[in-house]
Amino acid sequence: DAGVIQSPRHEVTEMGQEVTLRCKPISGHNSLFWYRQTMMRGLELLIYFNNNVPIDDSGMPEDRFSAKMPNASFSTLKIQPSEPRDSAVYFCASSLVRDEQYFGPGTRLTVT
Amino acid sequence: SQQGEEDPQALSIQEGENATMNCSYKTSINNLQWYRQNSGRGLVHLILIRSNEREKHSGRLRVTLDTSKKSSSLLITASRAADTASYFCATTLTARLTFGTGTRLQVTL
């Protein structure tokens, strides 16, 4: 079975540009999570969806960040405009109910 | 914040030795999970212990949970070089996980 799929794996962009990260959760999982990992702040939950509905977006840093889940098999995290401090590894994870989460390989974002 | 704190931050041992990592948290939980992260990779779930459990085993892993002290420990027995990774505890009360700061484990030959 395919795990959580994220694309792109690496993204380098200039400050001010729009960045879109994509995630395909494991089929049948009903919860999807977006995390950000940096050396300074560790692993932070940005937002999570349950049955395609955003449940908790309290971790979204600011209005420049937005996330959507148009259907059960796809989610996007968008940053517009991007800033150098957004540089991090962004992980998507999915789960079934309240059990273990399955993480994707991550997208390493560098904003110059 | 419910963020957990792992202790130690870094641990270096020789292959064959046991490795113990500790996690402390601040609020009530439904369960506590341990994850492993190899360098440059996503996190991999290792083991889950529920709030009404005190100890759990999985292969070479042993996890304990003391809800009165709000702490957990992860023991890896007979460590191998392949166990080299960062280990994170994560607590959950609802569906969201709150991760600790992690312990970097280095297992040398």
pLDDT band, very low/low/confident/very high, at A98 (cuts 50, 70, 90): low
Which is it for strands A31-38 and A88-95: parallel, antiparallel or unpaired?
antiparallel
Question: Which pLDDT belongs to residue A102?
Answer: 94
Q: Does B6 have pLDDT greater than 90?
A: no
Strand partners, A108: A10, A89
- Predicted confidence (pLDDT) per residue in A30-62, tens digit: 999 999 999 888 899 999 999 999 999 999 988
Beta strands in B1-67 (DSSP E): 5-7, 10-14, 19-24, 31-37, 43-50, 55-58, 61-66
Q: Is B39 on the interface with A (CB under 8 A)?
A: no
Give percent above pLDDT 70 in chain A. 97
Q: Which residues of B touch A42 (CB under 8 A)?
A: 3, 99-102
Candidates B3, B42, B92; nearest CB to A103: B42
How many other C-beta atoms can be found within 10 angstroms of the C-beta atom of residue A69?
Answer: 21
Report the alpha-carbon distance of residue B7 to residue B24 in Å, rounded: 8
Q: Tell me whether residues B42 and A106 touch, CB distance under 8 A.
A: yes
Mean pLDDT of B26-41: 92
The dihedrals phi and psi of B12, each to the nearest 5 degrees, come to -125, 125
pLDDT band at B2 (very low <50, low <70, confident <90, very high): very low
Confidence of residue A1 (pLDDT cuts 50, 70, 90): low
Contact A105 B88 (CB under 8 A): no
Q: How confident is the model at residue B3 (pLDDT cuts 50, 70, 90)?
A: low
Which residues, in sequence order, are CB contacts of A97 under 8 Å at separation 6+?
Answer: A30, A31, B95
Nearest to B30 among A98, A102, A104 (CB): A98
Cβ A33–B97 below 8 Å, yes or no? yes
Find residue B6's DSSP bridge partners. B23
CA distance A79 to chain B (A): 21
- Give start and end residues of each alpha helix (H) in chain A: none
Least confident range of A82-86, A94-98, B1-5: B1-5
**A3 pLDDT higher than 80:** yes
Best mutation target, B30, B97, B104, to test chain A (most A CBs within 10 A): B97
- By CB atoms closer than 10 A (0-12, 13-18, 19+), residue A16 is exposed
Residues B64-109 have pLDDT tens digits of: 999 999 999 999 999 999 999 999 999 988 778 888 889 999 999 9
Question: How far is it, in rounded angstroms, from Cα A18 to Cα B88?
Answer: 32
In sign, the C-alpha dihedral spanning A26, A46, A48, A95 is: positive
Q: Name which residue leads in pLDDT, B7 or A19.
A: A19
Question: Smallest Cα–Cα separation from B43: which of B107, B102, B108, B106?
Answer: B102
